[in-house]
Amino acid sequence: MQTSLKSIEEQRAEALRQTEFIAETRSYVLELEQTLGRPLKSNVTTFGCQMNARDSEKIRGIFAAAGFQNTDNEDEADFVIYNTCTVRENADQHVYGRLGHLNSVKKKKKDMVIGLCGCMMQEKHIVEKIKKSYSFVDLIFGTHNLYEFPELLLKTIREKKRIIEILDSTPYLPESLPVSRKYPFKSGVNIMYGCNNFCTYCIVPYVRGREISRRPEEILQEVRNLVSDGVVEIMLLGQNVNSYGKTFEEPYSFAKLLREVCKVPGLRRVRFMTSHPKDLSDELIEAMAENPLVCRHLHLPVQAGSDRLLKKMNRHYDLAHYMELVKKLREAMPDISLTTDIIVGFPGETEEDFEGTLRLVREVGYDSAFTFIYSKRTGTPAASMPDQVPDEVAHARFDRLLATIKETAEEQCARFEGQVHDVLVEELNKEPGLVTGRIGHNLVVHLPGDASMIGKIVPVRLRECRGFYYLGEVAF
């Protein structure tokens, strides 16, 4: 079904309608619990990126509001949801593997309900395969109708028949739904959905649809609400945050939004993800530099160190432009941490192209990088390009790339050794007596401490650099 985004009034009315479904589900769940003599449990597994992680927090929030108890053990759950990713082939395979396991659990627990949602479900051939070969899946919905999960949840548990609901675009945004945050002290905030870029290797524009930016006043209200609920760190989320607001009748820039977010009283740290080099403006670099709340870290995916490949990837920048951005960023914020995404083995990649990538990594001196072996995605232009790189060549290059990134990461990490930095303590370490947190530059620090420190920002001396992370201690 082809749909387009509804008006603000219609959005509000739909949100109310869904809230009513939550209330109805809650009564039904109570009834079921009385019959069974035990609570109903739910479990949500996230595959993929930060956007999916945020969507899962909404799914968990709806389960909780509808009376389900969260469990970390999917085998004991009454309702299991996999929020899937399809950016690379191995993400798909991972889901199929886990489904095989769930099938064996469900054979012994026939009332178990299994739901699938997220990016994989927007691909027709995948839904066909699940319908045919995974008949034990009870609910399938996509990226465009998360807003109606309360309604789908009730239908699935009441009607006990398979429900498949997938849309081609977003009529209602999944805002105003209850949220169960993973961390009480930090949160993602969606500022936009979808992507208009059509990089030739990437499936995201096909499964997440066209860019839709949320109104700035709604985003700011959400940030204020989160801060009053104890959040100190916000991550503004979008596939390409640098093109935020460009589709409004009166365009509104991401830099302006960032400045407004920084004014929210009580907020201590702001991060954002992901930036596209073609849209990174001077205004944004200024807004970052003038606001100490903005973490000194930028994730700036480069994808490849060869102009020829960047062109074939449809990235709309060349290496000279990318290096100019790096220079401007370092001039404005000399200690900034830079991280990136790199694809190895894109169709037609030669040894010379790949050596360009290694040179670029050394030249920029990344703090870290997410590296991926190119994965052919059905329906993308790159899938039918000639000269697909043989697996063994791609793997050998991948290993060389990892070794080079390890070198630059170690060099970069060492630059703060001995300094005192603010650390947001996030969790207890597996090692007793230690806690783990992050500095603004996003580097991980382990330090002596206890649960009372979780969620607090404390000054920490970065005593020893261990390659990718630090050992530190609270500095008094």
Q: Is 354 in the site for ligand 5AD (CB under 6 A)?
A: no
Of the candidate residues 301, 356, 437, 455, the single one contacting ligand 5AD (CB under 6 A): 301
C-alpha to C-alpha distance for 82 and 88, rounded to whole angstroms: 16
Q: What does the per-residue mask of binding to ligand SF4 show for 203-232, with x meaning CB under 6 A?
A: -xx---------------------------
Residue 445's alpha-carbon distances to 30, 435, 442, 457, 458, in angstroms, are 44, 8, 9, 12, 12
Q: Is 240 in the site for ligand SF4 (CB under 6 A)?
A: yes
Find the part of the chain contacting ligand 5AD (CB under 6 A) among 9-17, 276-284, 322-330, 374-382: 374-382
Shortest reach from residue 301's CB to ligand 5AD, in Å: 4
Contacts to ligand SF4 from residues 188-207, by CB under 6 A? 195, 197-199, 202, 204-205
* 475 HSE (CA, 13 A, CB side): 14
Q: Is 375 in the site for ligand 5AD (CB under 6 A)?
A: yes
Amino acid letter for position 317: Y
Shortest reach from residue 47's CB to ligand 5AD, in Å: 13
Spatial contact of 74 and 45, defined as CB atoms under 8 Å apart: yes
Shortest reach from residue 445's CB to ligand 5AD, in Å: 26
C-alpha to C-alpha distance for 301 and 341, rounded to whole angstroms: 4
Q: Is 318 in the site for ligand 5AD (CB under 6 A)?
A: no
Contacts to ligand SF4 from residues 18-77, by CB under 6 A? none
Q: Is 87 in the site for ligand 5AD (CB under 6 A)?
A: yes
Residue 450's alpha-carbon distances to 298, 376, 428, 435, in angstroms, are 30, 46, 7, 6
Number of residues that bind ligand 5AD (CB under 6 A): 12
Tokens matching residue 178: 């209850």
Residue 216 CB burial class (10 angstroms; 0-12, 13-18, ≥19): middle
Query: Among ligand SF4, ligand 5AD, none, what does residue 374 contact (CB within 5–8 Å per kind)?
Result: ligand 5AD
Q: What does the per-residue mask of binding to ligand 5AD show for 377-396, with x meaning CB under 6 A?
A: x-------------------
Reading phi first (left if > 0) and then psi (alpha if -120 to 50, else beta), residue 68 is in beta
Tokens matching residue 351: 């040894």
C-alpha to C-alpha distance for 350 and 368, rounded to whole angstroms: 24
Tell me whether the omega of the peptide bond preceding residue 274 falls within 30 degrees of 0, making it cis.
yes
Q: Is 341 in the site for ligand 5AD (CB under 6 A)?
A: yes
Tokens matching residue 300: 């700036």
- For ligand SF4, the binding residues (CB under 6 A) are 195, 197-199, 202, 204-205, 239-240, 276
- For ligand 5AD, the binding residues (CB under 6 A) are 87-88, 201-202, 301, 303, 341, 343, 372, 374-375, 377
